[in-house]
Structure 1
């Protein structure tokens, strides 16, 4: 785990003991997720395209290069031990879609942090992820995510259970993977 308050954010990944610079802007990694989720692109073409996230030299071993991209994408060092264990456990349903929730993401960053994600020159992907995680629970994006994560079968009140199910149906994510599934799509 790293401490964002004093540890530098990575600009490179390590493959076989060598450092390889990678794209670090949050837009690049949202595009990475879109690439992986695109059913119209073959697995072979996805692997070839993913190598573009290495702006300079690419590691010679494609499998190790993809594992390194997965490490960067999942931002594992930012996760607590509990979050890392959950990543390795049973899959959870996705609660966020970069495409379907784009307006809510833009709004949340503007409202909560005063950051204009459209006009900002660069925002490191790991900082973006940390800011997403730290959004207050009462912002509309976090409310959408909470409704998607809710398990209506655990709600005893029939009217409330029906209300939550209706909301879930309205904001349901058209099939999309969570970060771990996206990262594992290559391997």
Structure 2
């Protein structure tokens, strides 16, 4: 029931992968900052190698689907949730709040912990109490002030400005969000045609 996934399935074969949360935070960066150039392509290839994948061309489709699925989490993939139109969370800009929250609520020092599974990290992050500063910040960013009285509206407007994030995101279902990631990654691979002996390589 509580087994944490440590492999992905590619062409019917179960392949072990690295699962520490720090590695998968790198993937978060990659998919947010992919550009149409070789540097982005090779950064992506390096990530696949870092988690333990040495891909053949005919394995790419399965691998890409499985990597995105692992990153997103199995439960989230099954639920057709909606992503809010307003971005309310950022792993890097909120780093100090995440660190403090884990230390305060779970006694986990994220700078010192030797290993923490990505899915466990996400579960703990989603289970923070209402008294946690990070939870309050997310509430400030996401709260609807349209029906508040003048005093509360003024307060929350100020908090929104204090803790504002730069990027606004389109409102998407979970399935649409994952499909967009897959298409974006797939295009980066297709942009570069450096393939030797049927194997995608990094020079």
Q: Common fold, TM-score beyond 0.5?
A: yes
Residue range with higher mean Cα deviation, 115-124 or 12-21? 12-21
Aligned to 1:97: 90
Cα RMSD (Å): 2.7
Aligned to 1:55: 52
Structure number with larger C-alpha Rg: 2
CA contact (8 A) 1:23 1:53 kept: yes
The alignment's TM-score, normalised by the length of structure 2, stands at 0.74
Of 4, 8, 24, which residue of structure 2 is paired with 1:9? Answer: 4
How far apart are 1:141 and its partner, in Å?
0.6
Per-residue Cα deviation, 1:22-74 (whole angstroms, up to 9, x for no partner): 22000011111112222567463454344235315335432321111110010
Q: Which has the higher contact order (CA 8 A, sep 6+)?
A: 2
CA contact (8 A) 1:29 1:73 kept: yes
Per-residue Cα deviation, 1:121-146 (whole angstroms, up to 9, x for no partner): 10000000110111111100111111
Of 159, 164, 168, which residue of structure 2 is paired with 1:167? Answer: 159
Of 28, 33, 37, which residue of structure 1 is paired with 2:32? Answer: 37
Question: Which runs of 5 or more structure 2 residues have no equivalent in the other structure?
Answer: 187-203
Question: Which runs of 5 or more structure 1 residues have no equivalent in the other structure?
Answer: none
Paired with 1:95 and 1:142, the residues of 2 have a C-alpha distance of 10
Q: Secondary structure at 2:14's aligned position in 1? A: strand
Residue range with higher mean Cα deviation, 65-74 or 42-51? 42-51
Q: Secondary structure at 1:95's aligned position in 2? A: coil
Paired with 1:75 and 1:170, the residues of 2 have a C-alpha distance of 31
CA contact (8 A) 2:10 2:63 kept: yes
